[in-house]
């Protein structure tokens, strides 16, 4: 029997529509399993390592290092240890969870806001990169969450970066805007990782959580040639009035490396993205007798407004599928994340024969649950408990709402991260 991703699957799957929606979501999550995706992109036969469309002769390298950053890095590192074994000389993984690795050191950092723990481990990563030479191979695992986990600010304290990040998040900045600031305040992001590792060969295994799969934005692009400039970063700072909100005089922006020659030794390959999840969800919807429609792989806009719109898209017997990141403009002091706010936003105008569910693929919707599900049964619970959904939206307290109605998604940290996935299902 296949194990369910959702720990509370049985409690949630109380109708045929709910069961179908959960099965479709789980199909998407299974398709983006980190180690499965890694094995599609990385194979070894003897001393020949094949990554994407390139091959590497391991006999030509004195040492092989693995450096992993982000919420998929620990699981990917386990996969690389299975492939490379004792050919790994050393390595560091910085994730939100710690695991047991034989050849790579595992560390836990903080997310979504960086702390001095992140700075300390980032310093160790920089030290390792500075020690490599032209005879070495550095395999980097770059995944969502890496922007906060990697923290080595230029002439700033980690607390300054955390304050700026918090302001940008509360004001609803996009991931692209936040990462533009991060790149130009960092000594390891925005291509600086590649510069530090030069002239060693670098392989970037990128697990994309960015809508549109702009690899230069994943974890703020440590191994990629950056296309943004200091001027772009200044515009974002001005747009959200960040320095005033943070009571800072300056944030010491620096330009990212722009010499293409510094990246001749780097090969970046996308291992997985949300399109893989969407394709699997579409196939499962067909299998269950629904007509699937992929609405967008780059859904953005304020979470509650997008949820309201999304719930009205479906026709009879149809499943509308999407992925992306819908920011929350935080005005209250409640608890919850994009996915719960998205689902709660759909509730007010939701037709009785429509279900909407939204899920963080990493299992962490800014709290200990992955998302929320709404349908007519949730509406009935609201009436019985005399709850006002608008009150929870106004205070950004979607977590408390879904706890009260028992319609939250619980996965725990999944070790995957390809943005959020959502669906709206209309009864046949």
Tell me, what CATH number does 39's domain have? 3.40.50.10180
> What is the token pair recorded at 282?
């579409």
**pLDDT at 249 (0 to 100):** 87
Decide if 405 is inside a domain: yes
Query: Do residue 182 and residue 125 come from a single domain?
Result: yes
**pLDDT at 1 (0 to 100):** 61
Query: Do residue 159 and residue 228 come from a single domain?
Result: yes
Query: Do residue 378 and residue 413 come from a single domain?
Result: yes
Decide if 3 is inside a domain: no
Query: Do residue 181 and residue 290 come from a single domain?
Result: no
Domain boundary among 218, 243, 272: 272
Query: Do residue 51 and residue 175 come from a single domain?
Result: yes
**pLDDT at 395 (0 to 100):** 97
Query: Do residue 22 and residue 121 come from a single domain?
Result: no
Domain boundary among 272, 305, 322: 272
Q: What CATH number corresponds to the domain at position 344? A: 3.40.1480.10
Domain boundary among 272, 288, 319: 272
Query: Do residue 237 and residue 376 come from a single domain?
Result: no
Query: Do residue 15 and residue 38 come from a single domain?
Result: no
Decide if 215 is inside a domain: yes
Query: Do residue 98 and residue 23 come from a single domain?
Result: no
Q: How many angstroms separate the CA atoms of 126 and 16, rounded?
A: 52
Query: Do residue 388 and residue 377 come from a single domain?
Result: yes
**pLDDT at 228 (0 to 100):** 98
**pLDDT at 2 (0 to 100):** 74
Nearest CA among 61, 161, 155, 156 for reference residue 109: 161
Query: Do residue 280 and residue 415 come from a single domain?
Result: yes
Decide if 1 is inside a domain: no
Query: Do residue 200 and residue 264 come from a single domain?
Result: yes
pLDDT along the chain (428 residues), means of 10: 90 98 97 96 98 97 98 98 98 96 97 96 98 98 97 93 94 95 97 98 97 95 98 97 91 96 97 97 98 97 96 97 95 95 96 98 96 98 96 97 98 95 97
In angstroms, how far apart are the furthest CA atoms of the chain?
69
Structurally, the chain folds into a number of domains equal to 2
Decide if 308 is inside a domain: yes
Decide if 287 is inside a domain: yes
Q: How many angstroms separate the CA atoms of 127 and 111, rounded?
A: 22
Cα angle value 390/345/384 (rounded, 5°): 55
For residue 396, the enclosing domain spans 11-32+274-426
Decide if 6 is inside a domain: no
Give the global pTM: 0.94
């Amino acid at each position: 029997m296949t194990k369910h991703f959702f720990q509370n699957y049985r409690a949630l799957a109380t109708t045929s529509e709910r069961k179908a929606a959960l099965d479709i979501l789980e199909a998407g999550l299974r398709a983006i399993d980190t180690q499965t995706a890694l094995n599609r992109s990385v194979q070894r036969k003897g001393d020949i390592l094949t990554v994407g469309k390139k091959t590497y002769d391991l006999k030509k390298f004195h040492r092989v290092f693995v450096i992993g950053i982000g919420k998929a890095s620990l699981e990917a590192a386990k996969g690389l240890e299975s492939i490379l074994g004792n050919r790994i000389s050393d390595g560091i993984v910085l994730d939100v969870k710690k695991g047991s690795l034989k050849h790579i050191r595992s560390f836990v950092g903080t997310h979504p806001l960086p702390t001095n723990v992140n700075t300390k481990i980032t310093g160790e990563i920089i030290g390792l990169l500075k020690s490599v030479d032209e005879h070495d191979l550095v395999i980097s695992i770059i995944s969502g969450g890496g922007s906060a986990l990697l923290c080595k600010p230029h002439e700033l304290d980690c607390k300054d970066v955390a304050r700026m990040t918090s302001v940008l998040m509360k004001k609803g900045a996009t991931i692209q805007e936040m990462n533009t600031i991060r790149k130009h305040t960092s000594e390891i992001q925005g291509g600086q990782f590649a510069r530090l590792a030069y002239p060693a060969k670098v392989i970037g295994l990128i697990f994309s959580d960015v809508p549109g799969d702009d690899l230069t934005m994943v974890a703020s692009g440590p191994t990629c040639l950056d296309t943004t400039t200091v001027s772009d970063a200044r515009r974002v700072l001005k747009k959200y009035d960040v320095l005033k909100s943070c009571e800072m005089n300056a944030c010491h922006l620096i330009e990212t490396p722009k010499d293409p020659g510094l990246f001749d030794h780097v090969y970046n390959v996308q291992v997985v993205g949300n399109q893989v999840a969407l394709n699997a969800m579409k196939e499962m919807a067909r299998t269950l007798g629904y007509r699937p429609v992929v609405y967008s792989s780059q859904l953005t806009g304020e979470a509650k407004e997008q949820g309201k719109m999304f719930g009205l898209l479906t026709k009879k017997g149809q499943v509308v599928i999407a992925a992306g990141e819908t920011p929350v403009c935080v005005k209250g002091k409640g608890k919850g994340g994009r996915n719960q706010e998205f689902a709660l936003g759909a509730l007010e105008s939701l037709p009785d024969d429509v279900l909407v569910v939204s899920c963080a693929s990493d299992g962490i919707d800014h709290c200990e649950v992955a998302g929320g599900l709404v349908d007519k049964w949730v509406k009935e619970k609201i009436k019985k408990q005399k709850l006002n959904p608008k009150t929870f939206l106004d205070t950004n307290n979607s977590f408390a709402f879904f706890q009260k109605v028992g319609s939250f998604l619980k996965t725990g940290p999944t070790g995957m991260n390809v943005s959020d996935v959502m669906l709206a299902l209309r009864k046949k």
